[in-house]
Chain A
Amino acid sequence: MSQLATHKAIEAVWYIESARIIGALTRMLRDVGLAEELAQDALVSALETWPQTGVPDNPAAWLMTAARHRALDRLRHHKLQLARHEAFGRDRQIEQELAGIDPLAALDDPVGDDVLRLLFIACHPVLPPEGRVALTLRLLGGLSTDEIARAFLVPEPTIAQRIVRAKRTLSAAQVPFEVPQKQDLPERLGSVLAVIYLIFNEGYAATAGDDWMRPALCDEALRLGRILAALAGDESEVHGLVALMEIQASRARARTDAHGRPVLLLEQNRARWDHLLIQRGLAALERARALGGLLGPYALQAGIAACHARACTAEATDWQEICALYDALAQVSPSPVVELNRAVAVCMAFGPEAGLAAVDALLNEPALRQYHLLPAVRADFLFRLGRFEEAGAAFERAAAMTRNLPERTLLLARAQSCQSQLLSKPDTIG
């Protein structure tokens, strides 16, 4: 094996094993920062040794053993220090750790509990959201600081600092390394799901020409979601989130045209949707249903996405079902943006008059005052009602509000088409 091939093989094994190794070490050392540092040391020694000796038969066990030895050295050292200070607070625990030296057995985490605990600690509410994201990608995504920085379009030192601060905060707050108890579970799980979905959306928002690390975030979020679904399979919202991400990802190929311009959902070529991902998404939604959890915010959004995924053509979309799902979503997680989407669904299900009434109810919503889609949606409804003059004015207002150039071009073109309608049908004026 060439030097390069060996390095790539090591990288691959590290990507697969790092979360398990860091998890096992955190369990031993009760310090996620130290655990990561020692796991990295083990990786460095693999990078030094394997090009000479060749990749071992069981590279995962090799790495785990190397990391565990480093952790045990630390514990021994710590024990000596404690002995010197005649403080034996953690003595028994250390004895147990030392007695249980069976490096291969350390690989045995058949339930994946260490990985699950690691995910919960990385997404702990004591951390600011950007710290949760960076730490999760670092500890569970096996991504380097540089890769995370490129993905989020921020300088590398910023990410490095977020990670350092997050580790320090966890250590200062003495956050225990555990799967949360029943009463804390909803909040803690909510934070984990939010972090994963944030990572997904960051990747989904990437545009053509962006660094490939940005779209790679979608894959990373999907991977984390799928891992979570396998490890915490009793939680319906986990499957709801996975369903949502699988179905959204299924449209990735159809979301832009040949020139990288965005294509709206209803105009996408459905043959280009990824039907394997759609099937997986629908299956995940079914699991959420079987667990009695179709009313969580992620499952509801996945339910809406599924309505589109099930329709063979845009015309076949079940808009009444989508309306009902938006009604439910507006109740469990009310937001003006949900209301605006609901208005669109109302228009599609019950006609532009009903849609206009729904959107007009949002005109005084402060959160939407700067949101160009509010006049854009309203303009579209007015256009459908043949009220071209008002529609044209609303399209122009929307165009002036957006900072996205292709979008502005599109909105101005639509304003122009209102003018043409007025000119071609002068009798409809007034």
Chain B
Amino acid sequence: MRFMVIVRSTKESEAGVPPDEATLTAMGKYNEELVKAGVMLAGEGLQPSAKGARVRFSGKDRTVIDGPFAETKELIAGFWIMQTKSLEECIEWVKRSPNPFHTESDIEIRQIFEAEDFGDEFTPEARESEARLREQLANQGH
């Protein structure tokens, strides 16, 4: 199964303070471990939200809101895509990560949907109609 492992933002990351040498080295070593274990599929660090934007959807309206955004702890500073055998294995890998920041911070683990996750409740017919629905939506979106 695959997980998106999300590093939550902190004041430092939102201020654009680059990680110090020691953190960088530790992270480099950790990433190497992940690669050697065949666990890491992708991973990126993100620039502060000041350099980003949001598009708000409301019915047919689209409003663009420029960064930065206020709710620091809800923002994302980086992510990994990890492939592991179980959530527990992913947790075990995340616990081994060096602390990304000097202040308190969270790393969140979220499972990525796979087609088979829908199980029996998601019958073949339902799958097909969902695929059709998606196709329709895509066509409507021009």
Chain A residues in the interface with B (C-beta under 8 A): 5, 8-9, 11-13, 15-16, 59, 112, 212, 216, 219, 222-227, 230-231, 253, 257-260, 269, 276, 280
Q: Verify B115–A12 contact, CB threshold 8 A.
A: no
- Which residue, of B84, B85, B93, B116, has the highest number of chain A Cβ atoms within 10 A? B85
Chain B's interface size range is 20 to 34
**Whole-angstrom CA separation of A240 from B115 in the bound complex:** 28
Q: Verify B91–A12 contact, CB threshold 8 A.
A: yes
B81 to chain A: closest residue by CB: A276
Chain A residues with CB under 8 Å of B128's CB are 257-258
A224 to chain B: closest residue by CB: B38
Shortest C-beta distance, A250 to chain B (Å), equals 12
Residue interface mask B69-86, A partner, CB < 8 A = 1? 000000000000101111
B85 to chain A: closest residue by CB: A15
| Residue B131 interfacial (CB < 8 Å) | yes
Shortest C-beta distance, A103 to chain B (Å), equals 18
Chain A residues with CB under 8 Å of B41's CB are 276, 280
Q: Verify B36–A112 contact, CB threshold 8 A.
A: yes
Q: Verify B36–A230 contact, CB threshold 8 A.
A: yes
**Seed contacts A219-B85, A259-B124; 20 additional CB < 8 Å A-B pairs:** A12-B86, A12-B88, A12-B89, A12-B91, A15-B85, A15-B86, A15-B89, A16-B37, A212-B116, A216-B85, A222-B83, A223-B38, A223-B83, A224-B38, A225-B38, A226-B38, A227-B36, A227-B37, A258-B128, A269-B131
A279 to chain B: closest residue by CB: B42
Q: Verify A258–B127 contact, CB threshold 8 A.
A: yes
Chain A residues with CB under 8 Å of B37's CB are 16, 223, 227
**Whole-angstrom CA separation of A212 from B89 in the bound complex:** 18
Q: Verify A12–B38 contact, CB threshold 8 A.
A: no
Q: Verify A258–B38 contact, CB threshold 8 A.
A: no
Chain B residues with CB under 8 Å of A231's CB are 36
Shortest C-beta distance, B40 to chain A (Å), equals 9
Chain A residues with CB under 8 Å of B93's CB are 16
**Whole-angstrom CA separation of A5 from B88 in the bound complex:** 9
| Residue B26 interfacial (CB < 8 Å) | no
Residue interface mask B16-54, A partner, CB < 8 A = 1? 000000000000000010011111011000000000000
Chain B residues with CB under 8 Å of A260's CB are 124
Shortest C-beta distance, B119 to chain A (Å), equals 11
Chain A residues with CB under 8 Å of B38's CB are 222-227, 230
**Whole-angstrom CA separation of A142 from B116 in the bound complex:** 23
Q: Verify A11–B86 contact, CB threshold 8 A.
A: yes
**Whole-angstrom CA separation of A226 from B93 in the bound complex:** 17
Q: Verify A11–B127 contact, CB threshold 8 A.
A: no
Chain B residues with CB under 8 Å of A257's CB are 128
**Whole-angstrom CA separation of A15 from B91 in the bound complex:** 13
**Whole-angstrom CA separation of A216 from B85 in the bound complex:** 9
Closest A-B pairs by Cβ, 6 of them? A226-B38, A258-B128, A12-B88, A223-B38, A12-B89, A258-B124
Residue interface mask B56-75, A partner, CB < 8 A = 1? 00000000000000000000
Shortest C-beta distance, A212 to chain B (Å), equals 8
**Whole-angstrom CA separation of A189 from B46 in the bound complex:** 39
Shortest C-beta distance, B7 to chain A (Å), equals 19
Shortest C-beta distance, A238 to chain B (Å), equals 12
Please judge, given known A-B contacts A253-B115, A258-B128, whether A9 and B92 are in contact too, CB under 8 Å.
yes
Q: Verify B35–A230 contact, CB threshold 8 A.
A: yes
B29 to chain A: closest residue by CB: A110
| Residue B104 interfacial (CB < 8 Å) | no
**Whole-angstrom CA separation of A400 from B83 in the bound complex:** 43
| Residue B121 interfacial (CB < 8 Å) | no
Please judge, given known A-B contacts A16-B93, A276-B81, whether A226 and B86 are in contact too, CB under 8 Å.
no
Q: List 8 A-B contacts (CB under 8 A).
A: A12-B86, A219-B85, A222-B38, A223-B83, A227-B38, A230-B38, A260-B124, A276-B42
Chain B residues with CB under 8 Å of A59's CB are 92
Chain A residues with CB under 8 Å of B116's CB are 212
A10 to chain B: closest residue by CB: B88
Shortest C-beta distance, B112 to chain A (Å), equals 10
Residue interface mask B110-142, A partner, CB < 8 A = 1? 000001100000001101100100000000000
